[in-house]
Amino acid sequence: MTDTRTALWTLSAREIARRVRAREVTAREVIDAHLDRIDVLNGSLGALTVVFPERARDLADQIDRRIAAGEEVGALAGVPISIKENIDITWSASTEGWAFLADAIPDAHATMVRRLLEADAVPIGRGNMPDTGLRWDTDNELFGRTYNPWDRDRVPGGSSGGDSVAVATGMSAVGLGNDYGGSLRLPAYAAGICALRPTAGRVPASAPVGAWPLTEQFFAVNGPIARHIDDLDTVFSLIHGADGMDPTAASIPHPSGYDGPRRVAVSRDPLGWGVDPEVAQAISVAADALAADGWEVVDVEAPMIEEAALLWRRLSVTEFVSTFQPGGRSVPLGEGATRYFLDNAEETEVFESIADYSAAWGQRLLISAAWERFHAEFPIVLGPVSARRMPAIGYDLSGPEATTQLWRDHRLLVTVNFLGLPSVAVPTGVDGDGIPSGVQLIAARNGDHIALAAARAVEAHVGTFTPIERPAGVVLAGAHG
């Protein structure tokens, strides 16, 4: 068989699976190519905390034997995936970045992992994260820092930063992460790749083992990271649907396309609080792409963003205060996460009474209804992932005011979490200084296919990112083409 290993790590997940099924390459060749990539890059980037070379090769060999025997294989045959440190897989501890969980091997796969294994995807390693996913950066005292492959001085985003960097640099073709406050979309934005934050309840969470706070139940979702929108769509089609364990998960059909009304509300500067020039340019690029694809593009702001973003913060911090104080969950956070949590608490007015806390959840229903009406007129909202480009390492720990500035920068990002809406982060190009730019496309509840359709139109206009090797032989970024 022709040796094509040097190019295999640049391929999309769908193309890898097609070539494996067609016997153009073996699954073993695909996995070896990505393991070679990990050997070159992971030591300097810190994206993957644990790598599974023997197990990955064994799974690949099993796929190759089945194909040779004429058996059917799954939709992701031979596709290497990375799995975030807080998503269960039975041969690796789900540490959440905490040293005290270093030996916490799960008894069962998370549903999304099991479903992808059944589709013949091959887990190749674990993606790094901040302890308990509490920061918009990726660093912890157990595994250390993940570096942004475009600029090592900037944060890679969080909390699914390890998986985003692995995907962006060709160490894996798909990453599995989760999103409580932008933790899929923000690191994808930083890495110049794509991510889908599904509608709340579309992808099952890990089986509950304790009393989860309400914000975790309503704001957090599992979802995929990839370099191509079609890969997000394929993975979502495999992982969504009730599993008989997560009582919040529902089985809702996932259409393969979208033929409904094509109107886009463009929020160029949510609330008028300011955006970086590069962010404004990214939104213009995406709006032009959608217009060229036949979407009607209207500059109009979605309702009640400030109320939603503020309640996301107040509810989150209120629950973290009660969770991490003595008598609560009492988890020993690392130094960085502790400092960030305390600075956030200092800047946030927490709910002191049950009445006020309950009223906040009641207000969520009113804001959701306003967005429901808005989405009936505008099926897609286009806006920034962050109002700023990624900050320098250490910015989020520079004082209480920094936590407020980050919240302001991420106002539309967390509004999506507060409302449980689907949103796709998609890149729009590389700025003049070599930093990727991008946007998010937000759909109504259960309109995941609509967000993917709009993102596919942007991708068709601007292209996709495929990692390349730098002349010096050090691979630290991707190329647009």
Of 335 and 14, the one with more pLDDT: 14
List the single range of 164-178, 313-327, 383-397 with lowest mean pLDDT.
313-327
First to last CA, the chain: 28
Q: What is the structure's pLDDT at 330?
A: 54
d(C-alpha 304, C-alpha 416), whole Å: 12
User: Within the chain, what is the greatest distance between any pair of CA atoms?
Assistant: 69
pLDDT at 323 over 70: no
307 pLDDT higher than 70: yes
Per-residue pLDDT, averaged over 198-209, amounts to 85
pLDDT at 4: 46
DSSP conformation class of 209 = -
Q: What domains can be seen in the chain, in order of their start residue? A: 5-480 (3.90.1300.10)
Strand 423-430 relative to strand 194-197, pairing: antiparallel
Q: Assign 426 a pLDDT band (cuts: 50, 70, 90).
A: very high
* CA pair distance 256, 187, nearest whole angstrom: 26
DSSP strand pairing (122-127 vs 80-84): parallel
pLDDT band at 209 (very low <50, low <70, confident <90, very high): low
- E-strand ranges in 251-327 read 263-266, 296-299
Say what the pLDDT of residue 264 is. 98
Q: Read off the pLDDT of each residue in 121-134 and give the average, rounded to a whole number.
A: 95
The predicted structure's pLDDT at residue 333: 75
Could you report the per-residue pLDDT of 373-402, keeping only the tens digit for each?
999 999 999 999 999 999 999 999 999 999
CA 475 to CA 33: how far, in whole Å? 14
Query: What does the block give as tokens for 41?
Result: 């890059």
pLDDT at 244 over 60: yes
Task: Return d(Cα 289, Cα 23) in angstroms, integer.
Answer: 36
Sheet containing 48-51, strands listed edge to edge, beginning at the edge strand earlier in sequence: 48-51, 122-127, 80-84, 174-179, 221-226, 194-197, 423-430, 436-443, 380-383, 263-266, 296-299
By C-alpha distance, which of 160, 198, 136 is closest to 424?
198
Name the most confidently modeled range: 2-11, 154-163, 466-475: 154-163
Q: What is the mean pLDDT of residues 264-283?
A: 98
